[in-house]
Amino acid sequence: MRVSGTRRKRSAAASSTTRTVVRPTPRTASRTAPRTAGRTGVVLFTTAAVLSSAGCFGSSDDPSRHGPARAQKTPGAKTVVWNTRPSSIASLGDSITRGFDACSVLSDCPEVSWSTGTDVRSLAQRLLPTATARAGTNAWNFAKTGAVVADLPGQIEAAAAHKPKLITVMIGANDACRDSVDDMTSTEQFRTTFTSALTRLRRDLPKTQVYVASVPNLMRLWSEGRKNIFGKQIWKLGICPSMLKDSDAVDAASNERRQRVADQVTAYNKVLKDVCGRDVLCRYDPAVHEYRFTSAELSKWDWFHPSKRGQQQLADMAYRRITETTP
């Protein structure tokens, strides 16, 4: 881009080829230089602004590094409105969302799932029209017992085929429930994987709302479930060994091990909150981790997974969060 300077006057005589050069007087020169520099500065500033807005200088808010971006308030931009009555629901996650051990020992029972179940007042039963909810035609459960955060992309792909208006996510317990504390998914890997999964979800389903439940308090489940002798025998079959093995041991090493698991769950929940918080169509819910499950709300087979009553509590918490008009 060129910046024009002071026009030079030409002689009015057509026959003459001699040009009269007007040399600026000291006063003229002193006025011209700042004016020209000012115009140049405006042009350079404008050019830099255009390049910056086009991404030529790079940006710290690159979605590939930080996940779904926040909505920006710009004049004339359409406001994103959260729909408190979505017409279809898909649930993603692990054994809790599958209703594991809620109906019979060591088996799934998706009918009582807090998200899409038909035998409890699940989200689907509350949010969808009555006939639709009973038929289960607009509610799909893609959760899988034993799933970790790395399994989310596959579940998202399955859900995307149905184009649900709401997706619920409860994941992370199995990332902490490993054979040993050293096998737990690191916070960095959990963040990378969850960010990638939510970014993919937003790419495939740009208008779908997302509810992300916090990871339950595994320490609370241990302290409550260990009161039952039968439950502790089931734990020996391999249920969340990083937290539940040697359930009666309260020595320093055992307490430290359980605290490491609890701290890792807290770190996972911070990741879920941070990543979800960058997406205007995502709501994170801390209530699940904060809730103090009682023995009556735990499975009578393993005293660790939610019972039907516990599933109902999860549904209540999710419903409150999803139907808030001002979160």
21 or 234: which carries more pLDDT confidence? 234
- Which of 130, 133, 93 has its CA nearest to residue 111? 133
What is the mean predicted confidence (pLDDT) over 67-82? 55
Q: CA-to-CA distance for 66 and 112, rounded, in angstroms?
A: 35
First vs last C-alpha separation in the chain:
49
Residue 47 scores a pLDDT above 50? no
User: What is the reported pLDDT for 52?
Assistant: 36
Task: Report strand pairing: 166-170 vs 139-141.
Answer: unpaired
Return all residues near 172 (Cβ < 8 A) that are at least 6 apart.
149, 190, 215, 265, 268, 269, 272
Residue 45 within any structural domain of the chain? no
User: What is the reported pLDDT for 129?
Assistant: 83
Mean pLDDT of the chain: 82
Highest mean pLDDT among 7-16, 21-30, 144-153, 229-238: 144-153
Residue 118 within any structural domain of the chain? yes
What is the mean predicted confidence (pLDDT) over 99-119? 96
What is the mean predicted confidence (pLDDT) over 302-325? 96
Residue 6 within any structural domain of the chain? no
Within a 10 A sphere around the Cβ of 263, how many other Cβ atoms? 14
49 pLDDT band, cuts 50/70/90, is very low
Q: Please, what's the b/e burial string for 135-163 (b: 16 or more CB within 10 A of its CB; e: otherwise)?
A: ebebbbbbbbbebbbbbbeebbeebbebe
pTM: 0.76
What is the mean predicted confidence (pLDDT) over 152-162? 97
- Which of 149, 167, 136, 182 has its CA nearest to residue 271? 149
Beta bridge partners of 167: 90, 210
Beta bridge partners of 166: 89, 209
Residue 275 within any structural domain of the chain? yes
Q: Which string of DSSP letters, residue by residue, matches 202-260?
A: HHH-TT-EEEEEPPP-HHHHHHHHTT-HHHHHHHTTTSSHHHHTTTT--SHHHHHHHHH
Task: Say how far residue 284 (Cα) sits from the centre of its chain.
Answer: 7
Return all residues near 29 (Cβ < 8 A) that are at least 6 apart.
none
Residue 168 within any structural domain of the chain? yes
- Which of 181, 173, 183, 178 has its CA nearest to residue 257? 181
Q: Which amino acid is it at 62?
A: D
Max distance between CA atoms of the chain, in angstroms, equals 116
For position 298, which CATH number holds? 3.40.50.1110
Residue 11 within any structural domain of the chain? no
77 or 234: which carries more pLDDT confidence? 234
Q: CA-to-CA distance for 158 and 144, rounded, in angstroms?
A: 12
160 or 327: which carries more pLDDT confidence? 160
Residue 12 within any structural domain of the chain? no
State how many domains the chain has. 1
Residue 205 within any structural domain of the chain? yes
User: What is the reported pLDDT for 79?
Assistant: 73
Q: Which amino acid is it at 255?
A: N
pLDDT, tens digit, 9 for 90 and up, residues 177-211: 999 999 999 999 999 999 999 999 999 999 999 99
Range of the domain at 130: 83-322
Helix (H) or strand (E) holding 91: strand 89-93
Residue 48 scores a pLDDT above 80? no
